[in-house]
Chain A
Amino acid sequence: GNSVTQMEGPVTLSEEAFLTINCTYTATGYPSLFWYVQYPGEGLQLLLKATKADDKGSNKGFEATYRKETTSFHLEKGSVQVSDSAVYFCALSSYYGNNRLAFGKGNQVVVIP
């Protein structure tokens, strides 16, 4: 079945540091890949997505590239801000799964001024 694996544990870093959150997946067929973000006290919001191999999703300075050969969709941002503190979820959907999202466990990111 479809599954998503995110790196373990929270991520704490200083403002303006480089952020990487690893995400790998297992899926039937050709899934679409997503990063969702949950800011404190708010609901899940789509951050970016990619629907086919080699596509790059980007938004708010975040980027992720759909790598079929390594089944990965790592999230990166070159210079984080305190306002980027949130929980980040990697997810996939595929036609074979009724397009429902399968989520990773999420990573809490804390950016210190």
Chain B
Amino acid sequence: GAGVSQSPSNKVTEKGKDVELRCDPISGHTALYWYRQSLGQGLEFLIYFQGNSAPDKSGLPSDRFSAERTGGSVSTLTIQRTQQEDSAVYLCASSNRQGASGNTIYFGEGSWLTVV
């Protein structure tokens, strides 16, 4: 597609439920990133994929968070047993080349998660 696409754009869920957030990166982009944006915390890195593997998961805040990527394309971020502190905007981003730090990373519009 033309840009990074995320769904759902908004999700309200009850505490304790599981949620899945989807990201469709720009076609051909091999690198994919998940970030979280919340008030007071700014933009936090969660996980990085190169192809289907995740060499850097260091930002996942707990074992309730997991992510996968299939076919070198679509990625799903799953949050199990959601808590109120998980409420945030979850941003997906992609980039077209590994090993070049000057590459532009393109962001989707985010999935706004509210846990009630």
Contact = CB atoms under 8 A, between A and B. Distances in A.
B100 A99 contact: yes
Contacts, number: 61
Contacts of A45: 107
A interface bracket (residues with beta carbon within 8 Å of B): 20 to 34
Contacts of A102: 45
A100 interface: yes
Interface in B95-116: 95, 98-110
Contact of B102 (A32, A42, A44, A98): A32
Given A51-B102, A98-B55, A43 B109 contact: yes
Given A98-B48, A99-B31, A46 B104 contact: yes
B79 interface: no
B43 A100 contact: no
Interface in A29-87: 30-32, 34, 36, 42-46, 49, 51
Interface of A: 30-32, 34, 36, 42-46, 49, 51, 89, 93-95, 98-106
The 7 closest A-B pairs by CB, nearest first: A51-B102, A43-B109, A103-B43, A44-B107, A32-B102, A105-B42, A32-B101
